[in-house]
Structure 1
Amino acid sequence: MLTIGDRFPEFNLKAVVDTDPAKAFTDISNESDQGKWKLFFFWPKDFTFVCPTEISAFGDIAKEFADRDTVIYGASTDSEYVHLAWRENHPDLKDLPFAMLSDIKRELSEALGILDRQEGVCLRATFLVDPEGVIRFVSVNDLSIGRNPQEVLRVLDALQTGELCPCNWHPGEDVLKVA
């Protein structure tokens, strides 16, 4: 699995950005949103139970990520058509403020090393990538356990300080100073 300090892989994927079929689909690549921080979070399968709780929770705080010049991308190995159907049929997903990437060929997931060996679906992986395309944070949860979007936001805040941040640090608190 790729980790801290590795470059995020090149990719070009179909994405769902709206529930209106006429404007639902777009292409997103590693060249999209140049110069911004990027949050990529992957889930195992659409139309499941834990996944929409995480997806909607990231959607609920998407403005906070945007305020930090960070773009959110959610992704799974489902097709863009499955993503669209899920968004159309799940009330918590209808108005998502971020793209749902379709890694149906599993190229990005494989390059990241996040495919579950038994199921062949994405692990519940999260990556924060800096504006230069370098991975600065990685977290992977068991398939049955949802992640904490507030913690990802806290880590982003800490990374963006460029300082040493102690355990449980939050914006406005003191950072560590080397004597």
Structure 2
Amino acid sequence: MLGVRDQFPQFKLQSVVSIEKGKEFAELSSDSFPGKWLVVFFWPMDFTFVCPTEIAEFGRKNGEFTDRDTQVLGVSTDTQFVHLAWRKDHNDLRGLPIPMVADTKRELTTACGILHPEEGVALRATYIVDPQGVIRWASVNDLKVGRNVDEVIRVLDALQTDELCPCNWKDGDATLKVA
């Protein structure tokens, strides 16, 4: 699995960005968001149970990421057409403000080293990537366990201070000073 200090892989993939007719799809790449931080989270597959709870929470918190000059991208190995059908079908996903990226050929998932060996789907991985494309935080959960979006925001805040942040540090808390 790629980890901290690794370069996040280059990609160019189809994505669902809307459910509005004629505006559903866009090709997104690693160059689509210059100068921004990225939070890239992967989920195993569409039309499941844990995944929409996470995706919807990232969507609800999107404004907090935007305030931090950060673009959130959600990725699974399903096609953009399956993503669109799921967004139209699931109440919590209809107004989703973040792209749903289709890694149909499993290229990005494989490059990140997070393809589940038996199931052939993405593990529940999350990456925080700085504006230079360097992974600054990586986390992966088992398929059955959802992640904590507030923790992703907390770590993003800490990374963006570029200072030493102690255990349980939250935005607004004092950072550590080297004596």
Residue of structure 1 in register with 2:66 after alignment: 66
1:172 partner letter? G
| Deviation string, structure 1 residues 112-160 (Cα, Å, up to 9, x no partner) | 0000011010000000000000000000001000000000000000000
Q: Structure 2: where are the runs of 5+ without partners?
A: none
Residue of structure 1 in register with 2:147 after alignment: 147
Q: TM-score, normalised by structure 2?
A: 0.99
Q: Which moved more, 1:48-57 or 1:15-24?
A: 15-24
Residue of structure 2 in register with 1:173 after alignment: 173
Distance in 1 of aligned mates of 2:48 and 2:116:
16
Shift of 1:21: 3.4
Q: Within the alignment, does 1:30 sit opposite 2:66 as a pair?
A: no
Q: Within the alignment, does 1:12 sit opposite 2:30 as a pair?
A: no
Residue of structure 1 in register with 2:134 after alignment: 134
Instruction: Name the SS of the counterpart of 2:110 in structure 1.
Output: helix
Distance in 1 of aligned mates of 2:58 and 2:154:
13
2:98 partner letter? F
Runs of 4+ in 1 over 4 A off after TM superposition: none
Instruction: Name the SS of the counterpart of 2:93 in structure 1.
Output: coil
| Pairs within 5 Å for 1:13-162 | 13-162=13-162
Distance in 2 of aligned mates of 1:101 and 1:3:
21
Q: Structure 1: where are the runs of 5+ without partners?
A: none
Distance in 2 of aligned mates of 1:15 and 1:68:
23
Shift of 1:20: 1.9
| Deviation string, structure 1 residues 42-67 (Cα, Å, up to 9, x no partner) | 00000000000000001111000000
Distance in 2 of aligned mates of 1:171 and 1:40:
21
Distance in 1 of aligned mates of 2:105 and 2:159:
32
Distance in 1 of aligned mates of 2:82 and 2:171:
38
Distance in 1 of aligned mates of 2:22 and 2:117:
36
What count of residue pairs does the alignment treat as equivalent?
179
Shift of 1:3: 0.5
Distance in 2 of aligned mates of 1:62 and 1:168:
22
